[in-house]
Amino acid sequence: PNYPMQADRLTNSECKLIPKLLSIMKSKQTNLCLSADYTSFEAIEKICHQVGNYICALKVHHDIIEDFSAEKGLMLKELSEKYQFLVVEDRKFADIGNTVKEQYAGKFKVSDWADIVTVHGIAGSGTVEGLKTALPEEMLQERAVLLIAEMSSDGSLAVGDYSKGVLEIAEKFPDFVMGFVCQSRIGSDKFLRWMPGIHLAAEGDSLGQKYKLPEAAVAQGADILIVGRCIINADDPVAVVKECQKRGYAAWDAFGY
């Protein structure tokens, strides 16, 4: 099949963070997003210095980091500027607009340091609208969301009409939605597809996670590969990052995106 080239996607996308991310990916030759699911901030800082040059994004769950604070968030932002990657807070906002607006700008100041946040569509388009209204006008172009259209876990309910509904939400806010967290080539090509559930050796975990290889993820439609425990639980995380970077980018590049 003929998939659009990167240049087409750049021109078709209204979300300003898309060309920024694509240029990072191209210049660093990486479509790897490290899911840095560590429980200490020190571990996150350490891995940034070790692998910052080989990733296009770093994803965190700020609420599992025991010593997290809004100041640590700004430190993460500084690290991302030093090594040129985007910061994703995987908060999976899911509530009504007014509540997520408070959560986004609230205690941990996620909107100050996360380039991208993840959002569920379960509550309808008001969730995305609520996040948007938390941002001052001048910051709108520097922030984006990823909508969870499908999930990697066994028995996920985010399928069929639900996933289609999520795509419709994206079409309402093409300037603010960067793309989807998904498991297939879903939605319009002006959006980027981020795919978790990737591992070089395991098929899954004991709690419903399902894994595929980087090459399979790209064949399924992934632009950006989200990899967590395969890297962070490895004896040599740097070596695994380099392998995921090399294999993931080669597969993606071969598709001629």
Q: Can you give the binding site for ligand UP6, defined by CB under 6 A? A: 35, 37, 61, 90, 151-153, 181, 196-197, 209, 226-230
Q: Is 37 annotated as a binding residue?
A: yes
| Annotated catalytic residue, options 16, 26, 46, 92 | 92
List, in sequence order, the alpha helices (H) in 84-181: 97-105, 110-113, 126-133, 160-172
Q: Is 229 annotated as a binding residue?
A: yes
Minimum distance between the CB of residue 224 and ligand UP6, rounded to whole angstroms?
A: 12
Q: Is 152 annotated as a binding residue?
A: yes
Q: Is 160 annotated as a binding residue?
A: no
User: Would residue 163 be called left, alpha or beta, if left means φ above 0 and alpha means ψ between -120 and 50 degrees?
Assistant: alpha
Question: Hey, how many other C-beta atoms are within 10 angstroms of the C-beta on 63?
Answer: 11
Q: What are 62's two structure tokens?
A: 């700020």
In 199-240, the DSSP E strands lie at 224-227
Question: Catalytic: 90?
Answer: yes
| Annotated catalytic residue, options 28, 90, 212, 223 | 90
Q: What are 119's two structure tokens?
A: 């959002």
Minimum distance between the CB of residue 109 and ligand UP6, rounded to whole angstroms?
A: 21
**Strand partners for 198:** 212
| Annotated catalytic residue, options 95, 175, 189, 253 | 95
Contact 221, 195 (CB under 8 A): yes
Minimum distance between the CB of residue 74 and ligand UP6, rounded to whole angstroms?
A: 22
Question: Catalytic: 95?
Answer: yes
Binding residue positions:
37, 59, 152, 209, 228-229
Binding residues for substrate: 37, 59, 152, 209, 228-229
Residues tagged active-site: 90, 92, 95
